[in-house]
């Protein structure tokens, strides 16, 4: 068995899990290299807690150089060119080539796609944005608060609605909810539309119960920073005292230039194996596009949501199949479209939605009633995540290889 090199582009959820799972299966003779332009891995689900002061920035970050504890190489560099046919990348730190290539570069917020967004809106979708929004909230004295999805697609289907629900609870605790009119505006036909009608209707009811005016199927085109108005496609102008925006996301430019993407800039992959049209190249997580079979919204072709839970489960499949191929085994696994996420309310409770996104009729996702149990479950997931993937105590000393993959060892 010859030594192999696996290049993993991206140190987010998908890249992190792929690298760690591969190292569990493969001995150190095989190189695993993670390349990312940032040194810090950010636990994105905690950004909304940062927004309202429940977390500090340091609580939700970990340094990717800690992967060295697990015999995983990390390279901080800008990826400048991806050559999929050669399994090679050009970076600011030089050229890297491998036997296999895994692209997990995610989806990037693109506020510049909406004129006026950068000047007038706050967003919890980045670390810097969440910190700035936190400060803006402390200075907010009431008035018109608008939460707006300004473009599609975006990362994490629950987050915009969690934002509105958590801001309601935040203002209520500060005694300012009665002095604030809240509006939720989105181009989507229903909340979390890709999760199916059961989930969508449940979230819509939560907004209604909290007197948050919900305006679905309402796309916007710009933000007038001078007049402090959100300009809708219809020409209507919605005034605001504080605008919390969810920008459209797009793939990194280097991905769009790789020759692997569709016209929209996302990488089509096999829905079960995450293989691309180029042999030896996988893509997973938010950078991909996977059409869903069900059509429950008229004239809407839905795709798998861009969410960390799917990147995680896809990474497990990719790592298993790659290791099996390297070890010369026939066994393979398939990603099944199952997934779930928490819906935080901001009052010490959370709901949990989960189900089958590959259901042939429509995503079969239901929301479990909000309770304190689900809130604390989310807290535990946050703590476990950073410990599981970064703690030196969990470092892989001896890979278990075939014993884990196939129930025996042939070495």
**Averages of pLDDT over each 10 residues, the chain, 411 residues:** 92 97 95 97 95 94 95 97 98 97 97 97 97 97 97 94 98 97 96 84 94 97 98 98 97 97 97 97 98 65 91 98 96 96 95 92 87 95 90 56 46 31
Of 138, 132, 96, 122, nearest to 228 by C-alpha is 122
* The predicted structure's pLDDT at residue 302: 85
Distances in Å between the alpha carbon of 149 and those of 121, 218, 290, 308, 363?
Answer: 11, 9, 22, 19, 22
- Ramachandran angles phi, psi of 48, nearest 5°: -70, -30
Between vectors from CA 333 to CA 327 and to CA 339, what angle results, nearest 5°? 140
Cβ atoms of 396 and 26 closer than 8 Å: no
Q: Strand runs (DSSP E) across 79-219, as ranges?
A: 79-83, 88-91, 94-97, 100-103, 108-109, 143-149, 180-185, 213-215
* The predicted structure's pLDDT at residue 178: 96
Distances in Å between the alpha carbon of 317 and those of 272, 323, 333?
Answer: 9, 10, 6
* The predicted structure's pLDDT at residue 397: 43
Place of tokens 């920035």: 57
Other Cβ atoms less than 10 A from the Cβ of 76: the count is 17
- Which two three-digit tokens encode residue 302? 């839905």
Q: Are strands 249-250 and 108-109 parallel, antiparallel or unpaired?
A: antiparallel
Other Cβ atoms less than 10 A from the Cβ of 401: the count is 17
Query: Does the global pTM surpass 0.85?
Result: yes
* The predicted structure's pLDDT at residue 193: 80
* The predicted structure's pLDDT at residue 395: 53
Q: Which residues contact 12 (CB under 8 A, 6 or more apart)?
A: 36, 41, 104, 105, 106, 285, 286, 308, 311
* The predicted structure's pLDDT at residue 409: 36
* Whole-angstrom distance, CA of residue 297 vs CA of residue 310: 22
* The predicted structure's pLDDT at residue 249: 97
Of 127, 131, 157, nearest to 42 by C-alpha is 127
Of 212, 228, 210, 232, nearest to 220 by C-alpha is 232
Q: Measured in whole angstroms, how far is the alpha carbon of residue 45 from the centre of its chain?
A: 8
Place of tokens 């599609």: 152
**Which structural domains are found in the chain, ordered by start?**
5-107+251-335+378-405 (3.50.50.60), 119-247 (3.50.50.60)
Q: Residue 13: in which H helix or E strand, if any?
A: helix 13-25
* The predicted structure's pLDDT at residue 410: 34
* The predicted structure's pLDDT at residue 392: 67
* The predicted structure's pLDDT at residue 398: 45
Cβ atoms of 84 and 276 closer than 8 Å: yes
């Amino acid at each position: 068995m010859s030594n192999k090199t696996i290049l993993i582009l991206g140190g987010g959820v998908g890249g992190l899990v792929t690298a760690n799972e591969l190292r569990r299966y493969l001995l150190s003779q095989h190189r695993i290299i993670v390349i990312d332009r940032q040194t810090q891995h950010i636990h994105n689900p905690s950004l909304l807690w940062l927004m309202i002061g429940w977390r500090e920035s340091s609580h939700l970050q970990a340094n990717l150089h800690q992967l060295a504890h697990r015999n995983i190489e990390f390279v901080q560099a800008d990826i400048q060119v991806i050559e999929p046919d050669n399994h090679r990348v050009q970076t600011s730190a030089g050229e890297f080539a491998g036997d296999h290539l895994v692209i997990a570069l995610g989806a990037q917020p693109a506020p510049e796609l909406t004129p006026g967004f950068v000047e007038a809106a706050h967003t919890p979708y980045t670390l810097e944005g969440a910190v700035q929004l936190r400060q803006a909230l402390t200075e907010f004295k009431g008035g018109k608060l608008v939460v707006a999805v300004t473009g599609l697609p975006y990362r994490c289907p629950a987050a915009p609605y969690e934002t509105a629900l958590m801001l309601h609870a935040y203002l209520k605790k500060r005694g300012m909810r009665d002095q604030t009119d809240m509006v939720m505006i989105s181009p989507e036909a229903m909340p979390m539309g890709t999760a199916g009608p059961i989930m969508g209707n449940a979230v819509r009811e939560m907004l209604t119960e909290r007197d948050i005016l919900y305006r679905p199927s309402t796309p916007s085109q710009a933000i007038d920073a001078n007049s402090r108005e959100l300009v809708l496609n219809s020409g209507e102008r919605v005034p605001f005292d504080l605008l919390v925006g969810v920008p459209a996301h797009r793939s990194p430019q280097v991905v769009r230039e790789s020759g692997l993407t569709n016209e929209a800039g996302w990488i089509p992959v096999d829905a079960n194996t995450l293989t691309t049209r180029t042999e030896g190249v996988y893509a997973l997580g938010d950078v991909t596009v996977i059409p869903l079979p069900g059509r429950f919204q008229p004239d809407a072709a839905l795709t798998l949501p861009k969410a960390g839970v799917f990147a995680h489960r896809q990474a497990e499949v990719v790592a298993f199949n790659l290791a099996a191929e390297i070890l010369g085994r026939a066994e393979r696994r398939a990603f099944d479209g199952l997934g779930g996420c928490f819906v935080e309310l901001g009052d010490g409770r959370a709901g949990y939605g989960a189900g089958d996104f590959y259901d042939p009729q429509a995503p079969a996702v239901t929301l479990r009633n909000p309770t304190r149990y689900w809130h604390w479950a989310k807290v535990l997931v946050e703590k476990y995540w950073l410990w599981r993937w970064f703690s030196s105590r969990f470092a892989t000393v001896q890979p278990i290889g075939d014993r884990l993959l196939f129930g025996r060892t042939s070495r």
